[in-house]
Amino acid sequence: MSWVNAVAQGILLGGLFAMFACGLSLLFGVIGVINLAHGDFAVLGAYLVIAIIPSVAFNAMWAVLFVIPIFAVLGYALQRTVLQRSIEIDPLTSLLVTFGLSVVIENGLLEKYSNDSQSLDVGGLVRSALHVNSQISLSWLNIGILVLAVIVLSAVQLFLGRTSMGRQIRAVADDREAAEIAGVRTKHVAGIAAAVAFATVALAGLCFGSVQQFSPYSGSSLLLFSFEAVIIGGLGSLWGTLAGGILLGVAQTVGAQIDPSSGQLAGHLVFLAILVLRPSGLFPARATA
């Protein structure tokens, strides 16, 4: 029964990974930037809550209302300034630039908040759980995060698939010059894609901060898990990303069940196995986002 529990916990953990991976996948698919500061931006989102919440003094969940818009604007601005220029030079430059952003964010947070672990207070939710039986109990917070991940991925999918702006984003992802020729304001559209990506990063960061403790350096492992979820699921497929996140989550919790210190190692091994056996991922999709 403890195995069933491990799998169930892994599935819930996978929702969080998928939400992280969504923004990474979107930014790479549309703009062609591999954002090495992805995890650090998520952690920055969580710290932003730490910075603001005490002065407002209510449940950290309300932070969603302001952190997400702030990150959307930040994403748009970064795209129109730093990211766009770096990718115009060459892809390597954009890697160096996002690596630089990562270093700046980590050290900036370290300077301000020291290396102490922090966590977000979401009130009683963190303790309440769904008791399936004596051995399996699922935290409502984790269930909520998985549901939220599915909602976010569905919303992004619908946005890209059904709206005019979504079509323009896919046009830019497919062929930037052809999009410009067809009258798409490609720079603005890429900015909107970055805004959406950053909004999901902020949300993922808040979810992460409410289930786990974090410190200024937590971002790099988040980046790694996001990469793994994207690669396992197949680049370009949002539902594949969800499956990839869940597989990674299950591998980690089941691995930890076998040997408590081997959870992350098990996740990496599954990732490597997929990379060797199915390099294009489980659900290689058409070339969208």
Q: Which of 116, 164, 261, 276 binds another protein (CB under 8 A)?
A: 164
Choose between 184 and 211: whose C-beta lies nearer to another protein: 184
DSSP 22-61: HHHHHHHHHH----TTHHHHHHHHHHHHHHHHHHH-S-GG
Q: Verify binding: residue 272, another protein, rule CB under 8 A.
A: no
Footprint (CB under 8 A) of another protein, residues 182-201: 182-186
Task: Give the range of 45-53, 122-130, 136-144, 172-180 binding another protein by CB under 8 A.
Answer: 172-180
Instruction: State the nearest-atom distance from the C-beta of 262 to another protein, in Å.
Output: 39
The helix (H) or strand (E) run that includes residue 209 is helix 186-211
Judged on CB neighbours under 10 Å (0-12, 13-18, 19+), 39 is buried
Contacts of 142 (CB under 8 A, 6+ apart): 9, 12, 13, 15, 211
Instruction: Round to whole Å and give the CA distance between 227 and 234.
Output: 11
Q: Verify binding: residue 179, another protein, rule CB under 8 A.
A: yes
Q: Which of 70, 150, 180, 275 binds another protein (CB under 8 A)?
A: 180
Per rule CB under 8 A, count of chain residues that contact another protein: 21
Q: Considering Cα of 287, then 224, then 16, then 26, what sign does the dihedral take?
A: negative
The structure tokens listed for 249 are 């989550």
Q: Verify binding: residue 168, another protein, rule CB under 8 A.
A: yes
Choose between 79 and 168: whose C-beta lies nearer to another protein: 168
Q: Verify binding: residue 88, another protein, rule CB under 8 A.
A: no
Q: Which of 81, 175, 213, 273 binds another protein (CB under 8 A)?
A: 175
**Residue ranges binding another protein (CB under 8 A):** 164, 167-168, 170-171, 173-175, 177-186, 286-288
